[in-house]
Amino acid sequence: MVIRKLPKSQLEIKISVPAAELEKFLDMAAEELSKDLKIAGFRPGKAPRKIVEQQIGPEKVLAHAAEKAVKKSYVESIEKNKIEAIGEPKITITKIAAGNDLEYKAIVGIMPEIRLGDYRKRVKDVKKEEPEKIKPGDVQKELEILRKNRAKLITVSRGAEKDDHVEIDFNVLVDGNEIEGGKSQNHPLTIGESYFIPGFEENLIGMKEKDEKEFALVFPKDYHKKELAGKPAKFKVNMKLVQKKEMAEMNDDFAKSLGKFENLESLKKSILEGMEMEQKKKNEEKRRQDILEKIISECQIEIPDVLLESELEKMMAEFEQNIAGMGMKLDDYFTSIKKTRDEVRKGWKETAEKRVKSALALREIARLENLSPESAEIEEEMNKTLAYFKGQGDMEKNVDMERLYNYVKGVLQNEKVLKFLENL
């Protein structure tokens, strides 16, 4: 076997399978292929190799044998030489003929070498900033949100007003045709929250239960669906329900209604502590990001294409999930911003490189500092995940235990490294 280094953290591995060993694979290939053949005098899979070759041709048997030989010899070569291969190899057979050695080359990405330099010294240059103090007005805003969310809804017979909760049936027509998603029944909304285009909610003010109304509006020029942007539309609305919001008084009884709070002051204290904890967490996350930025800014690493592509795919999946959370389809979003998937991916390349560098830097520091989670820690976290899946129907049966183990181990290891760096 001959190994040659290539650019971008790749290896070219030349492997030879001796003719005598290839014979075994030829026999196995003939047996497998004969299972799908009907050969007189032989049960499926039991015909001699020569008979099988006569039936389907020796080239097909040889090709199947080569495929099996490559799979086995490649894995053995990787393990024997302790090569940290990533992704699927690109296989090129360079010599194949009956009675001869099988020769091929595999080009594969490997975990890259990384030179971190004096990361301990660089981390010490990252200053620890104190989190911003929570102002009394911030606590009051949270209290108002709680008060608003706990408001009682009382059905009224008057016309709808700002801040009322209403339910409506509506149709939206453009050029006389109903638009996609332009029809809904018993649709709930709060007048004044501006979830619809400008002017829509204002037209609901004054409408009573069972009132019907038609009005015209123009979609904003920057509307996310470009086919509707700037177009006039006709709206038909039927008011089904009008409810006013009765806000609770901000007192001790209100605090008690939210949980185990003795009075309003204890509720305020709890909100303050929660906001301070959240602010502290944000501050810690920012410091960790600053530390990683400092480390990777000077580290030398050649990122293999397979890792970069994998990270870009991961980012795209995360982005698609976020877009779905906003009620949009990914392709519709790309259409609205007039960009293709490839253009967006290209714009993410620098961020993807930073993410890969950060992951590899954490991995290398864990190795250098001998930081690794104990088996008991990994098992404990895995059990928490499995306990969650138990309550999700058949999801527990579909859990890949090896993949879950590696994921949990990676998360815990990164946490250990980050805490180590923070304490330097």
Residue partners of 48: CB distance under 8 A and separation at least 6: 30
264-422 CATH fold: Trigger factor, domain 2 (1.10.3120)
pLDDT over 90 at 225, yes or no: no
pLDDT over 70 at 393, yes or no: no
Tokens of 68: 């099996």
- Within 10 A of 398 (CB to CB), how many other CB atoms are there? 9
Q: Is the backbone of residue 199 left (phi > 0), alpha (psi -120 to 50) or beta?
A: left
pLDDT at 69: 96
What is the C-alpha separation between 211 and 12, in angstroms, rounded? 76
Cβ atoms of 366 and 396 closer than 8 Å: no
- Residue 360, Cα to own-chain centre: how many angstroms? 19
* Closest residue by Cα to residue 291 from 113, 112, 131, 129: 129
Cβ atoms of 148 and 247 closer than 8 Å: yes
> For domain 152-246, which CATH number applies: 3.30.565.10, 3.10.50.40, 2.60.260.20, 3.30.420.40?
3.10.50.40
What is the C-alpha separation between 119 and 62, in angstroms, rounded? 54
Cβ atoms of 44 and 35 closer than 8 Å: yes
Q: Does domain 2-111 have CATH number 3.30.70.1050?
A: yes
- Name the residue with higher pLDDT: 390 or 342: 342
- Within 10 A of 406 (CB to CB), how many other CB atoms are there? 12
With H, G, I as helix, E, B as strand and everything else as coil, classify residue 110: strand
Question: What residue spans define the domains of the chain?
Answer: 2-111, 152-246, 264-422
pLDDT digits over 254-290, tens only? 999 998 899 999 999 999 999 999 999 999 999 999 9
* Closest residue by Cα to residue 274 from 415, 138, 402: 138
Place of tokens 């009382």: 154
Cα–Cα separations (whole angstroms), residue 216 to 35, 167, 221 = 71, 20, 16
Cβ atoms of 305 and 8 closer than 8 Å: yes
pLDDT digits over 97-150, tens only? 989 999 999 999 999 989 998 999 989 888 888 888 898 899 999 999 999 888
pLDDT over 80 at 396, yes or no: no
Tokens of 120: 């301990």
- Angle, helix 136-149 to helix 264-296, in steps of 10 degrees: 110
